[in-house]
């Protein structure tokens, strides 16, 4: 503990406490007023929830979350608050109350924050930490991947799809380490290395040199199947400690010229085909999606390149449709068949695969129409003829089911109408009451 008597007119708060600045320059002094519980401290990137009261050294209050009746939250270490807070709150435990004395260079500096905070003001904060939790890095913000940064990385860039990465990782489940490796691979190839999708999503959130702990829910882990290789049961939540040692970003679409896009698209088509043959349909689909993203809106094609681009786009949409059929996702399969038919209106594979997807959606009339068109355009396609028969069978079964449903419905309506008619008839009859004379001569209505 250090103490410093401040010689300042009107000063009522002694400047004292432990110097917690990394530089040990006395910029942030901390004094614990109430001990917290547990041993865990918040990490960089964690969302923290606090109450605070801020005063000047003379005791003048300039801000208070308690007066507003609402806890204040921010992401630690992200520069969302003054430096003193990022430093001070990182040293606190849940339930702790402390005093932070913050010199101007760790607060609002020479400018101050008019009108309440004058220039070059040393500030005093009483802070209480209520809770903290890691950062949700999923697009849907569904809590599926939570990051807690152990060591902050450098720079601002992060790996993108197909970036080359060099990592160290340690996967654990219920405190059992099941995977510990150093790897070099391209983002998008993780499944072939036995990595769950959440790990690649995690990598795309990291800076070079960063080490972080990720909690990965089943949706982004090994799902309902689990992993026989690592002896992971179904629906398991995983923890991965990952260090991103180095990476090289893949070129973005806007960084590539037309020739590079065509060359890379051809490479990705081959990669996708290889993944498909291995039954890795999600990885295959990622390769085909890249082709679409690069070439779909390419407007600077030379005449000799237009046919190449069209052929690659057509193949990408057809193969995406096939991947989605294998993944039992008929809606995106239909969407990609529609895109393929925009490029080639009578494409046999697009019509047939759309028919298959529509069967999966139980839209048998539309499916039959696609198979009939295939049969008309390509008479040698026996599979289309078989599918027409199956669709007709399904349509007939659906009609029979509808007939039974409607018959039952009409029977219920008839019974209801008959019941209502009977009730109406009863209501129109005399009410069956009799008037009797009581001993006092008064009329009294009694039930007959």
Please choose, from the candidates 231, 233, 240, 165, the residue with its C-alpha nearest in 3D space to the C-alpha of residue 196.
240
φ/ψ bin of 209: left (φ > 0), alpha (ψ from -120 to 50), beta (otherwise): left
Cβ contact 204:167 at 8 Å: no
Q: How many CB atoms lie within 10 A of CB 217?
A: 18
Integer CA distances (angstroms), 75 to 314, 341, 383, in order? 45, 48, 58
> 3-class SS at 446?
strand
Residue with the larger pLDDT of the pair 236 and 302: 236
Confidence bin at 418 (pLDDT 50/70/90): low
Report the share of the chain in percent with pLDDT over 90. 74
Confidence of residue 443 (pLDDT cuts 50, 70, 90): very low
Q: Report the candidate in 112, 131, 132 with the shortest Cα–Cα distance to residue 123.
A: 112
| pLDDT tens-place string over residues 50-108 | 999 999 999 999 999 999 999 999 999 989 999 999 999 999 999 999 999 999 999 99
64-78, 208-222, 431-445: least confidently modelled range: 431-445
Using an 8 Å Cβ cutoff, are 390 and 370 in contact? Answer: no
Q: What is the pLDDT of residues 121-171, one digit of tens each?
A: 999 999 999 999 999 999 989 999 999 999 999 988 999 988 999 999 999
Mean pLDDT of 330-336: 97
The confidence score (pLDDT) of residue 431 equals 53
Instruction: Say yes or no to pLDDT of 264 above 50.
Output: yes
Cβ atoms of residues 19 and 2 within 8 Å: yes
227's tokens: 């992993």
Q: Write out the two tokens for 268.
A: 């990705």
Q: Give the pLDDT score at 429.
A: 61
In Å, how far are 239, 245, 321, 333, 382 from 357, measured between CA atoms? 37, 43, 9, 6, 18
For the chain, the average pLDDT equals: 89
Active-site positions read 52, 62-63, 82, 108, 125
What's residue 422's pLDDT? 72
The position carrying tokens 């410093």 is: 4
- Whether the per-residue pLDDT at 10 is higher than 70: the answer is no
- Residue 280: the pLDDT is 87
Among 152, 23, 156, 1, which Cα is nearest to 84's?
23
CA 47 to chain CA mean position, Å: 17
Partner residues linked to 149 by β-bridges: 44, 212
More confident residue, 254 or 268: 268
Dist. CA 399–CA 403, nearest whole Å: 6
The answer on pLDDT for 28 being more than 60 is yes
Residue owning tokens 């939790």: 133
Q: In this structure, what token pair is assigned to residue 12?
A: 């009522």
Summarize pLDDT for 92-117 with one digit per residue, the tens.
999 999 999 999 999 999 999 999 99
Give the H or E element holding residue 201. Answer: helix 197-203
What DSSP line would sit under 127-164, residue for residue?
Answer: EEEEEEE-EE--TT-SSSEEEEEEE--BSS----TT-E
The reported pLDDT for the residue numbered 4 is 39
**Total length of the chain:** 448
The total of other beta-carbon atoms located within 10 Å of residue 47's CB is: 16
CA dihedral 418, 419, 422, 427 (to 10 degrees): -140
């Amino acid at each position: 503990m250090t103490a410093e008597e401040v010689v300042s007119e009107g000063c009522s708060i002694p400047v004292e406490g432990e110097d917690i600045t990394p530089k040990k320059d006395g910029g942030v002094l901390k004094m614990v007023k109430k001990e917290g519980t547990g041993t865990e401290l918040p990490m960089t990137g964690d969302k923290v929830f606090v109450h605070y009261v801020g005063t000047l050294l003379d005791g003048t209050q300039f801000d208070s979350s308690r007066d507003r009746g609402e806890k204040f939250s921010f992401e630690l270490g992200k520069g969302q608050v003054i430096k003193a807070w990022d430093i001070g709150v990182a040293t606190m435990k849940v339930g702790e109350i402390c005093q932070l004395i913050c010199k101007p260079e760790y607060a609002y500096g020479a400018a101050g924050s008019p009108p309440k905070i004058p220039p070059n003001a040393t500030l005093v904060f009483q802070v209480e930490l209520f809770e903290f939790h890691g950062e949700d890095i999923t697009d849907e913000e569904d809590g599926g991947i939570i990051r807690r940064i152990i060591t902050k990385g450098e720079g601002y860039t992060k790996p993108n799809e197909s970036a080359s990465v060099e990592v160290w990782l340690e996967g654990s489940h219920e405190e059992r380490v099941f995977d510990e490796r150093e790897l070099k691979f391209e983002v998008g190839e993780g499944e072939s290395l036995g990595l769950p999708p959440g790990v690649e999503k995690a990598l795309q959130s990291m800076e070079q040199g960063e080490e972080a702990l990720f909690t990965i829910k089943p949706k982004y882990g090994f799902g309902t199947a689990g992993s026989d290789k690592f002896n992971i049961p179904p629906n398991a939540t995983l923890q991965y400690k990952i260090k991103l040692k180095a990476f090289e970003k893949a070129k973005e679409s806007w960084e590539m010229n037309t020739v590079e896009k065509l060359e890379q698209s051809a490479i990705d088509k081959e990669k996708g085909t290889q993944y498909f043959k291995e039954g890795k349909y999600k990885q295959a689909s990622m390769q085909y999606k890249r082709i679409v993203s690069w070439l779909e809106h390419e407007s600077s094609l030379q005449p000799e390149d237009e046919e190449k681009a069209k052929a690659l786009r057509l193949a990408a949409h057809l193969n995406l449709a096939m991947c989605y059929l294998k993944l039992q996702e008929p809606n995106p399969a239909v969407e990609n068949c529609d895109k393929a038919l925009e490029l080639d209106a009578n494409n046999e594979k697009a019509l047939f695969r759309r028919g298959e997807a529509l069967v999966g959606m139980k839209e048998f009339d539309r499916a039959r129409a696609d198979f009939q068109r295939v049969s008309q355009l390509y008479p040698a396609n026996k599979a289309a003829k078989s599918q027409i028969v199956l669709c007709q069978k399904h349509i007939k079964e659906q009609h029979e089911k509808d007939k039974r449903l409607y018959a039952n419905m009409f029977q219920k309506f008839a019974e209801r109408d008959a019941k209502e008619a009977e009730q109406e008839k009863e209501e129109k009859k005399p009410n069956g009451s009799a008037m009797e004379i009581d001993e006092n001569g008064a009329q009294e209505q009694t039930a007959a």
